[in-house]
Amino acid sequence: MRTTVGIIGGGPAGLLLARLLDNAGIDNVVLESRDRSYVEQRQRAGILEQPTVDTLRAAGAGERMDREGLVHHGIELRFGRRAHRMDFPSLTGGRGVLVYAQTEVVKDLIALRLAGGGPLLFTAEVRAVDGADTDQPVIHFRHDDQDKTLHCDYVVGCDGFHGVAREAIPATVRTSYERTYPYSWLGILAEAPPVYDELVYAHSERGFALASVRSSSVSRLYLQVPCDTDLADWPDERIWDELDARFALDEDPGWKLERGQVTSKAVLPMRSHVTEPMRYGRVFLAGDAAHIVPPTGAKGLNLAAADVTVLARALIRQRDTGSTQLLDAYSDTCLRRVWRAEHFSHLMTTTLHTDPAHSPFDTRLQLSQLARFASSPHAAADLADNYTGLPLPQ
């Protein structure tokens, strides 16, 4: 097999890149290790920044998103048992975010790919990438019980943190930066209508909580828990009781969540990770293969979309003009945005969560930062600017 761009990973990053390349007439092959059902049901982020929404629309992948997505014009911060709303349009010149689950983005992109006839191989397990520093890198994979090879002009690793693409960058060249957090999230999906109009981020002496949305009838909710949490210790009733306790308001003591059937439950670790560089020879990394952010800032899917948008433009420029200028700048261009997102996500995480090692002094610092977001137009504008999405590099 031979193609111009071999894409490892059929998640949102790989599928969006494939769509952008298809629209430009650049042939590509997508290799995904899981089956279609697994990929379409993999629960991840649900907040799309304005640049991500714009990219999906321009790619012809926004019809159902615009019809079913929920526009949010702000978020609510709760701390000190009081509520404070951040109004994004007034702080950013009109920008907001769209709530549309990653599962739905993936379904839309898969449907478009299959309708267009582009190669999308599920259950294709990539074993290795050879020749990253040559003009003809090769992907070795197994599909339909056969060992196969895909010869490419370029290879793009969109295969996540545990994928093989990053290993194509020699250890002597590759540098990893990482931070782990001393807490996790217990996340649930529940058939319960949200009683809030926008996402609610709560700082509490009991720990952090987040109320999110999947639809008008489905809630996505999170609790900060210890890293060694056993789900067996958290029956549904205990989860609902703890959520209500952390979202409690002095100004509205009767405020409670709408309870419903919990359809999924999982403990999610929290970490930050960046691999540099994001390009070696003709192998490029995108999305979680290159960087991971804690979910507090809602940046994971959006960073992946930004990566592949930058890369698609660079590949199109090379095809049209022969210039490799944008390809050569890819890693530096993306990393500037990645580190900005890492900083914002780290700030949101460490400001809102209760660290087991925190002293009362540390807690007062957190409350001071949250009060500044709530009272200072400049601090609020910076939060809103980062949350709704910084402009993509042109």
What does the domain layout of the chain look like in residue ranges? 2-70+102-178+271-362
What pLDDT, on the 0 to 100 scale, is given for residue 360? 93
Query: Which is catalytic among the residues 73, 203, 291, 299?
Result: 299
Using CB atoms within 10 A of its CB, is residue 171 exposed (0-12), middle (13-18) or buried (19+)?
exposed
Query: Which is catalytic among the residues 203, 294, 295, 330?
Result: 295
What pLDDT, on the 0 to 100 scale, is given for residue 224? 98
What pLDDT, on the 0 to 100 scale, is given for residue 392? 87
Query: Which is catalytic among the residues 72, 73, 203, 291?
Result: 72
Does the model's pTM come out above 0.85? Answer: yes
Q: Report domain 2-70+102-178+271-362's class.
A: alpha beta
What pLDDT, on the 0 to 100 scale, is given for residue 371? 98
Q: Any catalytic annotation for residue 201?
A: yes
Contact 163, 11 (CB under 8 A): no
Q: Any catalytic annotation for residue 72?
A: yes
What pLDDT, on the 0 to 100 scale, is given for residue 215? 84
Query: Which is catalytic among the residues 100, 154, 201, 330?
Result: 201
Q: Any catalytic annotation for residue 387?
A: yes
What pLDDT, on the 0 to 100 scale, is given for residue 358? 87
Q: Any catalytic annotation for residue 107?
A: no
Q: Could you read off the pLDDT tens digit of each residue along the chain, which spans 394 residues? A: 999 999 999 999 999 999 999 999 999 999 999 999 999 988 777 899 999 999 999 999 999 999 999 999 999 999 999 999 999 999 999 999 999 989 999 999 999 999 998 999 999 999 999 999 999 999 999 999 999 999 999 999 999 999 999 999 999 999 999 999 999 999 999 999 999 999 999 999 999 999 998 888 999 999 999 999 999 999 999 999 999 999 999 999 999 999 999 999 999 999 999 999 999 999 999 999 999 999 999 999 999 999 999 999 999 999 999 999 999 999 999 999 999 999 999 999 999 999 988 899 999 999 999 999 999 999 999 999 999 999 887 6
